[in-house]
Structure 1
Amino acid sequence: MSLPQFITVEGPIGVGKTSLARLINARYGFHLLQEIVEENPFLGRFYDNIDEWSFQTEMFFLCNRYKQLNDLSKQYLQRDQSVVSDYNIFKNTIFARRTLSAGELDKYLSIYDILTADMPQASLIVHLTASVETIMGRIAKRNRSIEQNMDPNYIRNLRDDYEVFLERYSVEHPDVPILVLDGDKLDFVERPEDLDFIFQQIDAILKKEQPTHA
């Protein structure tokens, strides 16, 4: 029996992670794991004042994602059931390094290391990226009240942080394939041919073939 797959879809806010994870779920029948976002009681205040509310916001996300992944491992992966998730827990460190002060970051990373020491690792990471203009347009389109004051510079920095992090991750974890998809070129929600292209890339990776670049 083949090992269960654990696909994580990652990228900056508003790039389409949840939409793609749901489409992968529908195509492959993997269990769908979605991150808790709007339930975070600090998030609205965080976007209004990042310095004041960053630690509370990041700790809430970390604890909830830890609980989700711990349950996921026991209920699905350890029972040979494949999973697709619209986040990878490493995103916590990307956001924390951008938002926390040096003193807070040291404390946060210590807790992160303890909680994630035995977490399940992705068998495939799908990295969605796009221009700031595309991302801001998608954020506006989904019209979440907590995101109305989103700063484009914050999105730009976050997008760049993902690029740097995943370049380093690919070197440190050469056994984990990373499929990079350009959201400026691919519209997998509106264009079925783009979605078919993405599925071809995923099929190739799952079959241990080398995908072409989008």
Structure 2
Amino acid sequence: MNLAEKYSIPSDAVITIAGTVGAGKSTLTSALAQALNFRTSMEKVDNNPYLDKFYKDFKRWSFHLQIFFLAERFKEQKRMFEYGGGFIQDRSIYEDTGIFAKMHYDKGTMSEVDYDTYTRLFEAMVMTPYFPHPDVLIHLEGSLDDILQRIKQRGRQMEQDTPVEYWEEMYERYEQWISNFSICPVLRLNINDYDLLHDPESLERIMAKIGQKIEAKREVRL
């Protein structure tokens, strides 16, 4: 029996990992995919033509960045389900509108017209009965100090140059967003409750929780 069967995780499941910058989404994505023999869907950063410009001028590039992410994540979401599932996804399409676009609108770094255009497009593309949603969304969370330390440790220059107030606000917005998220089942996972490097068995505890969420979802449908 493989680990997916052991923990009642269907081979066609799509599991999405969400959380603020530095929470460890990519690391957990890769670990779960390897353990379950699933494919990965990683956030595309290197080929993003707006990211560096955005960090230098939020107001000028926030709308362009969000439209780029929306298009890329929409295509990727369709690809995963057309392939037949069996994916672990790094970051969700829902965070873009629920956190990032709204934050820039609230702070004045995205105009009202641009924000309205973006949200209308998001709703038309994503918030329909025909758009496939994940079986489980895992939200990685921890203290603000833990998150800031992880951002510092990974050393990306554009993140190091970003004012700490930006990360503090993003942290608070993630908390608000996940507390009201109801599109699919949510597994809230504290980053201090597992250690993939020094406690490999902690990964199986995560898989057990994923299986429980999927089973509960199926029971509700029945």
Preserved CA contact (<8 Å) 2:14 2:87: yes
Q: Give 5+ residue unaligned stretches, structure 2.
A: 1-9, 105-109, 218-222
Aligned residue number for residue 41 of structure 1: 49
Aligned residue number for residue 95 of structure 2: 91
Say if 2:79 is the partner of 1:71: yes
Shift of the 202–106 alpha-carbon distance from structure 1 to 2, 3 Å rule, reads same
1:110 CA displacement:
0.8
User: Which consecutive aligned stretches of 4+ in structure 1 deviate over 4 angstroms post-superposition?
Assistant: none
Instruction: Provide Cα deviations, 1:152-186, integer angstroms capped at 9, x if missing partner.
Output: 2222222221221222123xx4xx32111112444
Q: Which amino acid aligns with 1:123?
A: D
1:124 CA displacement:
0.5
Using the alignment, how far apart are the partners of 2:133 and 2:24 within structure 1? 22
Using the alignment, how far apart are the partners of 2:33 and 2:137 within structure 1? 15
Shift of the 39–148 alpha-carbon distance from structure 1 to 2, 3 Å rule, reads farther
1:204 CA displacement:
2.9
1:13 CA displacement:
0.9
Q: Percent identity?
A: 28
Tell me the TM-score normalized by structure 2. Answer: 0.81
Aligned residue number for residue 160 of structure 2: 148
Deviates more, 1:197-206 or 1:54-63: 197-206
Aligned residue number for residue 59 of structure 2: 51
- Counting matched residue pairs gives 200
1:133 CA displacement:
2.1
Query: Structure 2 matches for 1:1-214, cutoff 5 A?
Result: 4-77=12-85, 82-93=86-97, 94-99=99-104, 100-116=110-126, 117=128, 118-170=130-182, 173=183, 176-208=184-216
Instruction: Provide Cα deviations, 1:64-120, integer angstroms capped at 9, x if missing partner.
Output: 11121222222233xxxx211011110110211011332221110011112223331
1:190 CA displacement:
4.1
RMSD over aligned CA atoms reads 2.1
Q: Which amino acid aligns with 1:45?
A: K
1:129 CA displacement:
1.0
Q: Give 5+ residue unaligned stretches, structure 1.
A: 210-214
Using the alignment, how far apart are the partners of 1:39 and 1:104 within structure 2? 23
SS in 1 for 2:187: strand
SS in 2 for 1:122: coil
Preserved CA contact (<8 Å) 1:43 1:146: no
Aligned residue number for residue 212 of structure 1: none
